[in-house]
Amino acid sequence: MSLKSKPLTAALCLCTLSPFTAQADSLGDTITVTATRQPMRLDESTADITILERDSIEAAGSSSLPELLAQQPGIQFSDNGGIGKASNLYLRGTESRHVLLLVDGIPLGSATSGAPSLASLPLANIERIEILRGPASALYGSDAVGGVIQVFTRRQETGELQTNAYLGGGSQGTWQTSAGLQGGDKRWNYGLNVSHFKTEGHDIKADRSKNPSGYNRDKDGYEATSVSGGLSLTLAEGHEAGISLFHTKSRNQFDSSPTYDDHSQDQVFAYGFYLRNRIQANWQSTLRLNQSGDYSDSYSASGMSRYRTDQTQWSWQNDFRLPVGNLLLALEQQQIKVSSTTDYTRRRKHVDALVLGYSANLGDHQIQAALRETDDSQFGSATTGNLGYGYHLSPELTARLAYGTAFKAPSFNQLYYPDTGYGGGNPDLVAEKSRTWEGGLNWEKGLHRASLTYYDTQVKNLIAGWPPVNINEARIRGTTLSYNGRLQRWQLGASLDFLKARDQETGKRLPRRADRQLSLQATYLAGTWEAGGEVLAVSDRYDDTSNSARKHMGGYGIVNAHMRYYLSPLWSLELQARNLTDKQYETSWGYTPAGAAYYVGLRYGAR
């Protein structure tokens, strides 16, 4: 299904369908912490942000986090055949390694591949997702060239004990269970959630002509067990300490040889401790110590290989409330260690940073600024900055303009991977650097919010190919239209993306990016039941930098549906249908996504 919508048609589409967002009297009442690293109202931010609450996550059913994110404005994705498989996220046309993933504020990803661990985060353990589009290195450092995705695990700030549970299953021998509890009082707040997911899967390399050496007619399953939780204690008024944890252990099958049962055993974890103190009425100090890891042991016909990343991070953030606006001052240090059966020349590095931020609302004017000095033990120092300005043209309409710079240090693979006959890493690589201009309009009234954003990103020294080299420059330009809101019993909205991501030297399209993507969602709410669906339409793409005809992937459209019936205030029955039309398509050349799939589940928990 090719996407050839004209802008006028697209604008009319935006008035029909959409995903859930915040459940508040006004969408602007929603609080975001990712935009500035300080809590602020969504309608006070000059950044381009989407927030997904638990309702929209549950409506996604048995899909994965990358699939859910792909339905959001400005995001495309590809994977190697389905849930649990290697996946890539393209935020505003940048690559996965240009996106920073945070879990409860803790960075999570692989230092060897340089990419975030999105496939390892189960939706059952997630309460909220904040998506920040645009350069954010000034606040968060390397990796945040395209933006930041921050995941908050399930917990409850205050209130009586609440419990939740889910049991479901369906196509391809898929089973999913989860259970959790959350609660708190004036001193203690806590939460604990456990989930298990298992699927027999399907043959992810079903086309022998595209995979003559890796073709194996077997099902490639996936199984994962996850636990997440947190505990906080109010020591005295204005003083709080807390811990958080997230851990996933999984087994993933893949194909690299005709006969061997290729698989990997993976672990992803993030543990954190924080101490928050109100030093004075206008000064709050937050000290954090985080530990995260990305472990993978891969077993194939060629033997066993091990890749492990350990990251230790501490930060001291100080928030000052000034007579006009808010000031942020933070110090950070990150230690990164790689352990592997691969003989890397270097296995460690450290990064130190100083961060300065400011935000203010001056009547109809909004200002956000950030400046960061980063010292990387491999590449020396880098200075990045952001400046955003917003102006209320009317109570409902806001114009915004922003400029930001960012950088991305090469991964350990790109630098130090040994030459095994197919080329190795390139120790002469330099860091990628980007600059982005963007402008937009936000319209908001009650539970309706629409936006139009144009952005222009130039990435110098973009790392591409294998062996990896720095190419001169890539330029990524795009326009995103989006809407979400509620009209009587309908939860509605849509997004439409026009993207032009090109290698400036060759004029070729960057791999796996579509020039057009349309996403539509709608849910009808009717008392004891609700039903809805979503449509995702993506135009054609290429899987290589040369844009060869052989690796051209056609456009496609998929349709999903969901229904939920409340048996009582606490019990509900859920039905899910994925890829209703059984569309055959590719997001990565040579890998076959699942066909039509159906699931049923029983959920326990307060509405």
Instruction: Report yes or no on 33 lying in a domain.
Output: yes
Instruction: Report yes or no on 492 lying in a domain.
Output: yes
Give the start-end residues of each E strand in 135-187: 147-153, 159-170, 174-184
Residue 294 has pLDDT above 70, yes or no: yes
Average pLDDT, the chain: 90
Over range 329-340, report the average pLDDT.
96
pLDDT digits (tens, 9 = 90+) for 362-375: 999 999 999 999 99
pLDDT at residue 61 in the model: 61
Q: Which one has a higher pLDDT value, 354 or 206?
A: 354
CATH code of residue 125:
2.40.170.20
pLDDT grade for 385, boundaries at 50, 70 and 90: very high
- Burial (0-12, 13-18, 19+ Cβ within 10 Å), 582: exposed
Q: Which one has a higher pLDDT value, 120 or 73?
A: 73
pLDDT digits (tens, 9 = 90+) for 18-33: 333 334 455 557 889 9
pLDDT digits (tens, 9 = 90+) for 159-194: 788 999 999 999 999 999 999 999 988 889 999 999
pLDDT at residue 215 in the model: 64
pLDDT at residue 466 in the model: 86
Counts of helices then strands in the chain (DSSP H, E): 5, 35
Residue 499 has pLDDT above 90, yes or no: yes
Residue 213 has pLDDT above 90, yes or no: no
Instruction: Report yes or no on 527 lying in a domain.
Output: yes
User: Can you give the residue range of the structural domain that contains 148?
Assistant: 7-604
How many structural domains are present in the chain? 1
Q: Determine the Cα–Cα distance for residues 144 and 408; give it in Å rounded to an integer.
A: 8
Over range 282-297, report the average pLDDT.
97
Cis check: omega of the bond before 410, within 30 degrees of 0:
no
Over range 288-311, report the average pLDDT.
93
Q: Determine the Cα–Cα distance for residues 299 and 225; give it in Å rounded to an integer.
A: 20
Residue 149 has pLDDT above 50, yes or no: yes
Q: Determine the Cα–Cα distance for residues 552 and 549; give it in Å rounded to an integer.
A: 5
**Secondary structure of 199-213 in the HEC alphabet?**
EEEECCCCCCCCCCC
Instruction: Report yes or no on 304 lying in a domain.
Output: yes
The first and second tokens of residue 331, run together, are: 């110090």
Q: What's this model's pTM, rounded to 2 decimal places?
A: 0.92
pLDDT grade for 1, boundaries at 50, 70 and 90: very low
pLDDT at residue 285 in the model: 98
Give yes or no for a contact between 55 and 47, defined as CB atoms under 8 angstroms apart: no
Residue 298 has pLDDT above 80, yes or no: yes
Q: Determine the Cα–Cα distance for residues 580 and 577; give it in Å rounded to an integer.
A: 6
Give yes or no for a contact between 234 and 186, defined as CB atoms under 8 angstroms apart: yes
- Taking the chain, what is the end-to-end CA distance rounded to the nearest angstrom? 37
pLDDT at residue 15 in the model: 33
Give yes or no for a contact between 154 and 193, defined as CB atoms under 8 angstroms apart: yes
Residue 8 has pLDDT above 80, yes or no: no
Instruction: Report yes or no on 190 lying in a domain.
Output: yes
- SS3 of residue 362 by DSSP: strand
Instruction: Report yes or no on 1 lying in a domain.
Output: no
Report the percent of the chain where pLDDT is more than 70.
Answer: 93
pLDDT digits (tens, 9 = 90+) for 507-523: 999 999 999 999 999 99
pLDDT at residue 58 in the model: 83
Q: Determine the Cα–Cα distance for residues 54 and 501; give it in Å rounded to an integer.
A: 33
pLDDT at residue 152 in the model: 94
Report the percent of the chain where pLDDT is more than 90.
Answer: 73
Instruction: Report yes or no on 2 lying in a domain.
Output: no
- Give the burial string for 390-401 (b: 16+ CB within 10 Å, else e): bebeeeeebebe
pLDDT at residue 57 in the model: 86
Q: Determine the Cα–Cα distance for residues 243 and 288; give it in Å rounded to an integer.
A: 10
Task: Tell me which range, 56-60, 301-305, 489-493, 553-557, is most confidently predicted by mean pLDDT.
Answer: 553-557
Q: Determine the Cα–Cα distance for residues 248 and 225; give it in Å rounded to an integer.
A: 6
Give yes or no for a contact between 39 and 33, defined as CB atoms under 8 angstroms apart: yes
Instruction: Report yes or no on 434 lying in a domain.
Output: yes
Q: Determine the Cα–Cα distance for residues 480 and 476; give it in Å rounded to an integer.
A: 13
pLDDT at residue 64 in the model: 85
